[in-house]
Amino acid sequence: MAAAADRLSQVAAHLKANGKARLLEKHPDDVVVTTALRTAITKGGKGGFKDTAGADLLYGAFKNLIERSGIDPSLVEDIAVGNVLAPGGGATEFRAAALAAGFSEGTAVKALNRQCSSGLQACVDIANAIKAGMIEVGIGAGVESMSTQYGPQAVTEFSELLENHKKAAECKVPMGVLSEQMAKDRHISREDQDKFAVDSYAKAKAAQKQGLFDEEIAPLTVKWTDPKTDEEKEITVSMDDGVREVTTESIAKIRPAFAKDGTIHAGNASQISDGAAAVLLMKRSTAERLGQKILGKYVAASVVGVPPLLMGIGPWKAIPVALEKAGITKDDVDIYEINEAFASQCLWCANELAIPQEKINPKGGAIAFGHPLGCTGARQVSTLLYELRRRGQKLGVTSMCVGTGMGMAAVWVSE
């Protein structure tokens, strides 16, 4: 028995040591990404998509996905769409958007809401359905029109039962307030948060200037009303319009948003935004049979719960779980796309996990170009895979904190 136990330990150690090499192997039943794209992300209420319905953004992403991939739309069996704010969960208009874009009546569509991780959950749901043999080809997507659907009407009133339950009632505390408290409790200074934000803007600005987002962005032509003249125009939106020049001096002038002596403000928190993203997934054997070019593959994912009042620490708990499932260590990962809901929470998670800053969001993040809630998780996939390929690197992680106290993460391989 002792000898057997020793041998099992040796095998386990061997597998762990070769985790990265095993992930780079290619197998017919791998779940691969053949196309990943997104729209530009625009400023809520005043950006290029301020007058465009969320379902129309999704239609644009779907239409471009079909054209770019060359996939026969009738082969797509299921589409999952992450969304947070749409009335009725978006189920009706998302199905309509799929039909309008060219998918057949035989293509099923569902909407899902796991708040800020909705887009990632959509991709993972499709990947798992492929792994289980339920479908052969599917799309994970995400969309949000915060211009048209963000506000008090998006929050459901709690019943007396929930209000009187301590932990349940904590779920409705605004995320900005929670993040402010987190910064205070964990001694994350405004200076550190502002530096993180300035760096995010600088990285995004440099990436935009170099055209590093061009591969992943699908330009959309939409109708837009000029707020100064009320003239309706037709414009083509092809760039993230929230990206701008920000300096340490300019960001220091912004007033705190949640407390007079607070540290969180509009400059070091994610922008309210509009956008959509879509990811085409299938087995490697299917991709090869259909002549689809492979951009990368899905490996593993995790979803975890954390105390509601500590919502922002989600990536800190979710990332190690995903890495363990993938059989790799944090040092094996080349790029981490960690959603910048707030500089305070992203900075704390990165510090606690001891992830080098240069590995985190190398093209900037939600502070610089926005966080359309249901879209972000799907958007991160294209941002990650194209950047890994450009750098000649292989392993990446996407992750985010989730309102009400959760976290999600996934491991991806570039090809």
Residues carrying an active site annotation: 116, 371, 401
Report the Cα 235 to chain-centroid distance in Å: 26
Whether residue 380 contacts residue 117, with contact meaning beta carbons closer than 8 Å, is answered with no
> How would you class 14 by CB atoms within 10 Å of its CB: exposed for 0-12, middle for 13-18, buried for 19 or more?
exposed
DSSP-derived secondary structure letter, 82: E
Coil, helix or strand at residue 99: helix
Q: How buried is 92 (Cβ within 10 angstroms: 0-12 exposed, 13-18 middle, 19+ buried)?
A: middle
Only one residue has tokens 């037709």, namely 234
Cα distance from N-terminal residue to C-terminal residue, the chain: 42
Distance CA 314, CA 312 (A): 5
Taking the C-alpha atoms of residue 262 and residue 257, their distance in angstroms, rounded to an integer, is 7
384 and 335 Cβ atoms separated by less than 8 Å: yes
CA–CA dist 267, 190 (Å, integer): 11
Four-residue CA torsion sign, 18, 23, 24, 29? positive
